[in-house]
Structure 1
Amino acid sequence: MVKALTEEEKLHKLVEAVFQDSDNDVTVAFKVTKSQSAWGALSRSTSKPRVLAIACKRSPTTQKFKVTLHVLKYSSSGFQARIVVRAKLYKMKHLSRVEVVPSDSTGCTFVLGFDNLKIQNVAPPQWTMRNVDERNRFLTTVIRLCKENLGRIPKIVGMDVVEMALWEQAHSDTAATPSGTVTTDGVDQTDLKVTVERELVSKAEEDDMEALLGTYVMGLDEAEAFSERLKRELLALEAANVHAILESDPLVEEVLRRLNNASEAVEDMDEWLGIFNVKLRHMREDIESIESRNNMLEMQVQNNAALVAELNKLLERLHVPPQYATLLTSGAFDESRMPQNVDACDWLAGAIRGMEPPLMDPAYANMRAVKDKRGELEKLKSTFVRRASEFLRSYFSNLVDFMISDKTYFSQRGQLKRPDHADLRFKCRTYARLLQHLKGLDKNSLGPLRKAYCQSLNLLLRREAREFANELRASTKVLRSSAVWMDNAVAGGGTAGSMGDTSTVSDAYAKMLRIFVPLLVDESAFFASFMCYEVLPLAPPRAGDEKSGDDEDDTPLDFDGADAKPTEQNAAEMEALNQALQELLDGIQEDFYAVVDWAYKVDPLRCISMQGTTERYLSSHKADAAGFVRRLLADLQARISNQFSKFLDEVCHQIEKHDRNVRQTGVLSYVPRFASLASRMEGLVQGMSRDMVDLAYTRLVGTMFTVLERIAQNDPKYADVLLLENYASFQNSMFDLANMVPTLARFYQQASEAYEQACTRYVNSIINMQFEKLFQFGQRVENLLYTITPEEVPFQLGVSKNELRKVVKASLSGVERSLQAMYKKMQKTLVSEELLPNLWDKCKVDFIDKYESLEALLQKCYPSETLSPSSTEMKELFKTV
């Protein structure tokens, strides 16, 4: 016994060492064997040694204990290992089931079921205690802790609760403080005591049990004998009950006699009921026969009445009113007769729809009368569609021919006339409902009508555009000299300021767009609605648009007179409409091209304002579905860009034609003329034509700078003079424009940098003309200082004191004359005299900087030698020049 206690104490110390760093206190700990198997099956093939420990931790808020079950495993196999580690943790609040495995005859194997396991389809592990006492001690401890701290106990399966209560009562001392367990410091030992009264059986139940057991002399430890005695007493009670039943035999016989009498009465009543049932059955059959005959007669009457009514309705459908038949086959299409024709079309469309399911029962489809009437309606439809199509094709052609033959519809000499199609549309709208009915009757009939309308109206539109464009050009007055503006501006014949005003040219182009673009959009919208295209409106109303002269609503109408506005765009219909519009308006673009070409010949720079006008119209018509109008504006935009690009090609060609064999001096002729050209171009920029002008600036200025650099390379001696004079002229002429135009500002900065570089090179060449040897000596000294000390310099070859004195004497004797020679040289080489003061000032600054640096360098390396004149004296000498 002492050895077991010692072993349990060792186990307690091992477990307590695991929890020494936590707040948990170990309550009990047992050695077990873990095996994995299905519920109710025992498998020892995978058994592993483990330690089950129950730990408690008091909650600071509720002052209750949080009970946890810990599974500990040994760091090496076997029970003899000295170290255990935590393997798994279970919370007691999730314990829902305790089942003793029945396959284990010893009863030491049990399974703990937890309701929070993630994998419920995998059987939980089985735990095997070393003996039944340890099992009972562990389970009673678990039940007690669950009831005290959770207020409930888990479900017990495979184990007698009374037996456990008796065991706990018999081992109350060891259950209260079991040996080998650790009692929590914060838990009162009286609270941990397990009693039957508190855990399993109430006080009243215990009193009843004691009273029952007190009637027997047999001891409680003889459970099997006690059970046998209870069975014998139960059999004795059952035998007594049977005896009592047998003693009541006379009463049973009386009851049986009365039951026989009642049975005979029931049989007699059943016989009478059978007789009555047969009679009632025969009577019911007679009544059903009579009702069936009456129902058949009533049904026949109802069917005959319904058949007559249905035949009357069918005859009404099959009847063709003679007035409609006359109108559909031979009626006239005059404007006064159109209401009657529309009514006939309405009736015909309704009659055809009424012959088709679901308006007509499919059972009638094979009737001969229905087939004949359907064929008659189809014949009426084809006859009417053919007659109406022939009339409308002839009507469109005659209407347009009449307008073309009347010259008052078009522009004439000295009079620009705006096209007016109000009367044309009014006359066409008379037959709009007829076209809608034709589409409903035969959708394919609209194809030839649309083609005829496009061919006829195309002649009228082209004639109007041609006459208007010709008269527009003839009535626009421009100076003849403006036609050679480019040659004057580039080749040297004049300046932009001497040219005449050519704004009437761009105004004429804007007027052409202002008159015809809305007209073409309106014609496209009217054509789409008039010819019943299932598309959204092509030209939604926009604020500021000029009216085309008619106030009619051009939206399509349905058969009831309501606006027919499709909810979404039909791609196939849209494609067909654009193809028809191409045929309707094709050829009219040539007159727009003629106006663009004429404006270019008058003044190429007018392409800028025309481009801005075109872009504004194109931007305002982006939402229109009339694709031809957008394509026309895009083609005009491309044509204007090409014409302006051709103008730039000619200007760049004129710039590149400067004579390369003759020495170029002073400011080249194209530099100031570009300023005049840029000023005029800026005056013509209108809104969105900014990109075209910026590209023109990039191309022209790039060509100018390239040609300037090329000409300068032809004469390297005077290259810097040519560059600085031309870059200075470019800056002076473009100063104001560069502040307003970012593109010109970029080229202004480029010219400024090139000017500074040319000035630096030119000033250095002027200085080196008189003092090159002096400053070269200083450069040699400065190079030596990278490798030797200043004290060693006077002893080097070529930079000795004697060499210094010779160079100083040769360069600075007669320095006044040298400075005068520098000024005269600069004055002689510069063509632009206004640049002389700035360049001379730069020359003085650069020379003084170099002279002061040389003086400091010589003072450092030749302390006994001094420059004469000094830098201060040299500044005074420059003032005399």
Structure 2
Amino acid sequence: MAKSSADDAELRRACEAAIEGTKQKIVMSIRVAKSHGVWGKSGMLGRQMAKPRVLAISIKSKGQRTKAFLRVMKYSTGGVLEPAKLYKLKHLSKVEVVTNDPSGCTFTLGFDNLRSQSVAPPQWTMRNIDDRNRLLICVLNICKDVLGRLPKVVGIDIVEMALWAKSLLKEICEDGPVASTVTESDLKVTVEKELVSQAEEEDMEALLGTFVMGIGEAEAFSERLKRELLALEAANVHAILESEPLIDEVLQGLEAATNCVDDMDEWLGIFNVKLRHMREDIESIETRNNKLEMQSVNNKALIVELDKLLERLRVPSEYAACLTGGSFDEACMLQNIEACEWLTGALRGLQVPNLDPTYANMRAVKEKQAELEKLKSTFVRRASEFLRNYFASLVDFMISDKSYFSQRGQLKRPDHADLRYKCRTYARLLQHLKSLDKNCLGPLRKAYCSSLNLLLRREAREFANELRASTKASRNPTLWLEGSTGYGQNVNAADTLTVSEAYSKMLTIFIPLLVDESSFFAHFMCFEVPTLVHPGGVANGNKTGHGDEDANYDDDLGIMDIDDNGSESGKSSAELAALNESLQDLLDGIQEDFYAVVDWAYKIDPLRCISMHGVTEKYLSGQKADAAGFVRLLLGDLESRISMQFSRFVDEACHQIERNERNVRQIGVLSYIPRFATLATRMEQYIQGQSRDLVDQAYTKFVSIMFVTLEKIAQTDPKYADIFLLENYAAFQNSLYDLANVVPTLAKFYHQASEAYEQACTRHISTIIYYQFERLFQFARKIEDLAFTIAPEEIPFQLGLSKMDLRKMLKASLSGVDKSIGAMYKKLQKNLTSEELLPSLWEKCKKEFLDKYESFAQLVAKIYPTETIPSVTEMRDLLASM
């Protein structure tokens, strides 16, 4: 018997080296081949190739418990064994020999804890049956001894395994020294620990003895079986020969049945051929019938389609006559509109989206398209020429009637109700013209704008002329801040109220009219922009209807949008630009009459620019629709012109203020200060709407020039500068006290004048005090200067500051102090022209003198403690009695 790899000591040592450190002991190691394929069937080469592996059984003892493992070892690249997989034998549930392997050397091991039971377990192939039995017996013995149970064994006779183990033990014992290669541990596992007990072995021998009893030698038994088989065969042949007549009858019946079957087969063949021919004939007839029926259906459908196409291609004679030579009178417009609608529908019906593309290249369709295009161009040309002449004739008729415009002594409100009523008759026609040819609208729009522009400008000119002629207002001088006395300075604001009312009336009448005309034009001439407020609406608080009978006037043209992209579908920048360009042509030139009213009002009363500016802003804030772009531009230009005129007035008034500094020496309050208060009061009366900024800017410019001029005039005579300043700043405050409480801009300048007044008072009072008590306060100033450098007790020893010097100075300054104070009052009164300021100035003077004297008394008490001077209380009582 060849040496088994289970006896290879080198292999076992290599396995022990591979699991070194696991505290496990190798019981057996044996070489095997691992495969996954099925014997006798083709498969993937990689799966069918056997891979060399080593199976090792190891045990690990831990106290009373023993654990058994089955290790799979593989060879690394360098030929060194390394662990590949580890199985616990306690989970071994099945040992099965693969039946497809004729040699019986291939088996599988099933474990009950594998994660994927659907994957076939690997197959292990041994070199021979002895190696297989040796490994399996070792596994079974360990399972029995260590685990106390045996796995299920399939494909192996357990009795054969026991007999093989017994024979292996016998050979080992007979061979003696030769068998020394089998280790003692193997003997213990394979022999001493038998699978079958002694009692079970005796029972199996008794059973086998009963089974072979009476058989004797195998050859004798085989001969006996042969003789019995021959006897049985001879008996069967005899029985068959005895039943021959019955067999003959059966054969005859079978032959007759065969003949009948052959006849039946021949008849069936004939019938089959005839049926096949009949089926072919029927199919041919059905095919011809189907083709005829399909041709009939197609012909009917073709006739229907041709009828529809002919209906599309037919031009009704009444429409053709209307389009080529019909009248455009109001009575015929319904017929013209119907003809337009038919022509639009016919043109659309011959276009590819509405017409089958197959028909588009037909000659008849192309000819009909050309005919319809010719009809369209003829009608568009005729209609455009008529509308241009119609617009011009309407306007000429209105202009020729002088009673339609404002006349001397009578203001006429423009009334376009009749004009728009006549235009609305052709609004639907314009919609169809746009649908037929968009390019025709450009000349029509220019013709309409050119004609209506003449009417609007004539209306505005006549209205503005009569408005100015019928307005009675006294002209105010523009020299509001002139130094010389002029008439009209205290004029009542009501005297020029009619000027503002005239301008407001001009806006009230014409701005809504221009907005209405813009809106009507945008809708009437088919611009795709949002419409404006209707003429019957309320704009800026004023009814924009044309008289009471037109107060609910509606700008609805009485039409539906023909195009899918109507005026409500959204605006485009191109359409808006075209509309504003047309509105420029429609309304251009009318602004000159508005400018004339503004200039006329400015000449009468420049301050009326304030109220006109407010009215203009009010109207401007109400114009937000894009289609009224020209109206917004007009209002913006008016606002700029009014602001420019008012700025001119402000500049002239500032120039009048500046001319005061060129005059001879100024005494007392300047004339422009009280006059500015009068001007500011009047300006506040004229403020309307949002004109606050305009007035505040004028205030800022006026007061800035006034203060600068005041300072320049004061510098011409520095001796009396402070008196001049305090009188004028006081006058500024007195004249603007009430307005400063309600006008923030004037309040700011009021506080600025108040600060300047206080500074001028302080300087003037200090000058008067030092003039009367110069030695007293100079002595105090010397002491204060030395106190920074030397000690207080050393000051009396300085030159000019001894106690004797102090006594001399007090005698000279305070002897007759009441006379000195009286002289101070007279000097304060001497150069003051505003007597109402004297009491407050004298109080300030007394307070200032008392503060200075109190400081001097504190210095004397500190530097000359032994000297006696009049007390502060005595001085206060003296001042109070003056």
Q: Shared topology, TM-score over 0.5?
A: yes
- 1:626 is aligned to 628
- 2:847 is aligned to 845
Structure 1, 858-867 or 432-441: larger mean CA deviation:
858-867
Rounded to whole Å, the distance in 1 between the matches of 2:72 and 2:446 is: 97
- 1:297 is aligned to 292
Do residues 696 (structure 1) and 710 (structure 2) align? no
Query: How far 1:408 sits from its partner (Å)?
Result: 1.2
Distance 1:779 1:209, change over 3 A: farther
Query: How far 1:556 sits from its partner (Å)?
Result: 7.5
Do residues 286 (structure 1) and 281 (structure 2) align? yes
Do residues 879 (structure 1) and 872 (structure 2) align? no
Distance 1:379 1:624, change over 3 A: closer
Rounded to whole Å, the distance in 2 between the matches of 1:363 and 1:375 is: 18
Query: How far 1:660 sits from its partner (Å)?
Result: 3.1
Structure 1, 772-781 or 328-337: larger mean CA deviation:
772-781
Rounded to whole Å, the distance in 1 between the matches of 2:859 and 2:120 is: 112
> Could you list the per-position Cα deviations for residues 378-397 of structure 1 after superposition, in whole angstroms to 9, with x for gaps in the alignment?
11111111111111111000
Contact 1:578–1:627, Cα closer than 8 Å, also in 2 = yes
Distance 1:270 1:445, change over 3 A: farther
Rounded to whole Å, the distance in 2 between the matches of 1:605 and 1:271 is: 134
- 2:479 is aligned to 486
> Could you list the per-position Cα deviations for residues 187-213 of structure 1 after superposition, in whole angstroms to 9, with x for gaps in the alignment?
xxxxxxxx979xxxxxxx768689x99
Contact 1:724–1:759, Cα closer than 8 Å, also in 2 = yes
> Could you list the per-position Cα deviations for residues 692-730 of structure 1 after superposition, in whole angstroms to 9, with x for gaps in the alignment?
111111111111111111111111111111111111111
Partner of residue 436 from structure 2, selected from 441, 459, 466: 441
Do residues 548 (structure 1) and 550 (structure 2) align? no
Q: Identity, % of aligned pairs?
A: 62
Query: How far 1:490 sits from its partner (Å)?
Result: 5.8
Contact 1:790–1:861, Cα closer than 8 Å, also in 2 = yes
Contact 2:615–2:688, Cα closer than 8 Å, also in 1 = yes
Compute the TM-score of the two structures, normalised by the length of structure 2: 0.71
- Match of 2:490, as an amino acid? G
Contact 1:462–1:587, Cα closer than 8 Å, also in 2 = yes
Query: How far 1:489 sits from its partner (Å)?
Result: 6.2
Partner of residue 429 from structure 1, selected from 421, 424, 432: 424
Partner of residue 741 from structure 2, selected from 739, 742, 751: 739
Structure 1, 368-377 or 747-756: larger mean CA deviation:
368-377
- Match of 1:503, as an amino acid? L
- 1:510 is aligned to 504
Describe the SS at the equivalent of 1:298.
Answer: helix
Query: For 1:672-821, what aligned pairs fall within 5 Å after superposition?
Result: 672-821=674-823
Contact 1:101–1:158, Cα closer than 8 Å, also in 2 = no
Contact 1:667–1:722, Cα closer than 8 Å, also in 2 = yes
- Match of 1:296, as an amino acid? K
Partner of residue 662 from structure 1, selected from 656, 661, 664: 664
Do residues 526 (structure 1) and 520 (structure 2) align? yes
Gaps of 5+ in 2: 1-20, 24-70, 92-112, 125-134, 167-184, 197-228, 233-253
Partner of residue 309 from structure 2, selected from 296, 311, 314: 314
- Match of 1:457, as an amino acid? L
Rounded to whole Å, the distance in 1 between the matches of 2:604 and 2:72 is: 113
- 1:558 is aligned to 560
Contact 2:481–2:675, Cα closer than 8 Å, also in 1 = no
Contact 2:614–2:687, Cα closer than 8 Å, also in 1 = yes
Query: How far 1:101 sits from its partner (Å)?
Result: 9.0
Contact 2:449–2:582, Cα closer than 8 Å, also in 1 = yes
Rounded to whole Å, the distance in 1 between the matches of 2:808 and 2:780 is: 13
Query: For 1:158-307, what aligned pairs fall within 5 Å after superposition?
Result: 282-307=277-302
Distance 1:507 1:153, change over 3 A: farther
- Compute the RMSD of aligned alpha carbons: 4.1
- 2:871 is aligned to 870
> Could you list the per-position Cα deviations for residues 558-609 of structure 1 after superposition, in whole angstroms to 9, with x for gaps in the alignment?
3669995423222111110000000000000000000000000000000110
Query: How far 1:429 sits from its partner (Å)?
Result: 0.3
- Match of 1:523, as an amino acid? E
Rounded to whole Å, the distance in 2 between the matches of 1:279 and 1:542 is: 100
Distance 1:587 1:661, change over 3 A: closer
Contact 2:481–2:653, Cα closer than 8 Å, also in 1 = no
Query: How far 1:756 sits from its partner (Å)?
Result: 0.9
- 1:58 is aligned to none
- 2:531 is aligned to 537
Rounded to whole Å, the distance in 2 between the matches of 1:598 and 1:676 is: 23
- 1:49 is aligned to none
Distance 1:278 1:718, change over 3 A: farther
Rounded to whole Å, the distance in 2 between the matches of 1:329 and 1:699 is: 72
- Match of 1:369, as an amino acid? A
Rounded to whole Å, the distance in 1 between the matches of 2:516 and 2:392 is: 20
Rounded to whole Å, the distance in 1 between the matches of 2:483 and 2:517 is: 45
Describe the SS at the equivalent of 1:625.
Answer: helix
Describe the SS at the equivalent of 1:483.
Answer: coil
Rounded to whole Å, the distance in 1 between the matches of 2:641 and 2:315 is: 62
Compute the TM-score of the two structures, normalised by the length of structure 1: 0.71
Rounded to whole Å, the distance in 2 between the matches of 1:274 and 1:359 is: 62
Describe the SS at the equivalent of 1:493.
Answer: coil
Q: How many residues align?
A: 686
- 2:50 is aligned to none
- Match of 2:634, as an amino acid? L
Rounded to whole Å, the distance in 2 between the matches of 1:534 and 1:565 is: 4
Contact 1:397–1:456, Cα closer than 8 Å, also in 2 = yes
Contact 1:506–1:610, Cα closer than 8 Å, also in 2 = yes
- Match of 1:743, as an amino acid? T
Query: How far 1:675 sits from its partner (Å)?
Result: 0.5
Partner of residue 474 from structure 1, selected from 469, 472, 485: 469
Query: How far 1:102 sits from its partner (Å)?
Result: 5.1
Contact 1:490–1:651, Cα closer than 8 Å, also in 2 = no
Rounded to whole Å, the distance in 2 between the matches of 1:346 and 1:851 is: 108
Do residues 381 (structure 1) and 382 (structure 2) align? no
> Could you list the per-position Cα deviations for residues 72-121 of structure 1 after superposition, in whole angstroms to 9, with x for gaps in the alignment?
xxxxxxxxxxxxxxxxxxxxxxxxxxx999565644578xxxxxxxxxxx
- 2:586 is aligned to 584
Do residues 354 (structure 1) and 356 (structure 2) align? no
Rounded to whole Å, the distance in 2 between the matches of 1:476 and 1:671 is: 33
Rounded to whole Å, the distance in 1 between the matches of 2:581 and 2:381 is: 24
- 2:610 is aligned to 608
Contact 1:100–1:158, Cα closer than 8 Å, also in 2 = no
- 1:855 is aligned to 857
Rounded to whole Å, the distance in 1 between the matches of 2:271 and 2:413 is: 108
- 2:828 is aligned to 826
Query: How far 1:403 sits from its partner (Å)?
Result: 0.2
Distance 1:360 1:804, change over 3 A: same
Structure 1, 292-301 or 433-442: larger mean CA deviation:
292-301
Describe the SS at the equivalent of 1:722.
Answer: helix
Describe the SS at the equivalent of 1:502.
Answer: helix
Gaps of 5+ in 1: 1-28, 32-98, 111-131, 140-151, 172-194, 198-204, 231-247, 251-260
Do residues 368 (structure 1) and 363 (structure 2) align? yes
> Could you list the per-position Cα deviations for residues 493-552 of structure 1 after superposition, in whole angstroms to 9, with x for gaps in the alignment?
146423561011001000000000000000000001111111111336557441332423
Query: How far 1:306 sits from its partner (Å)?
Result: 1.9
> Could you list the per-position Cα deviations for residues 726-780 of structure 1 after superposition, in whole angstroms to 9, with x for gaps in the alignment?
1111111111111101111111111111111111111111111111232122122
- 1:345 is aligned to 340
Query: How far 1:485 sits from its partner (Å)?
Result: 4.7
Rounded to whole Å, the distance in 2 between the matches of 1:223 and 1:282 is: 91
Distance 1:225 1:750, change over 3 A: farther
- Match of 2:849, as an amino acid? F
Contact 1:410–1:417, Cα closer than 8 Å, also in 2 = yes
Contact 1:609–1:684, Cα closer than 8 Å, also in 2 = yes
Rounded to whole Å, the distance in 2 between the matches of 1:643 and 1:274 is: 124
- 2:388 is aligned to 393
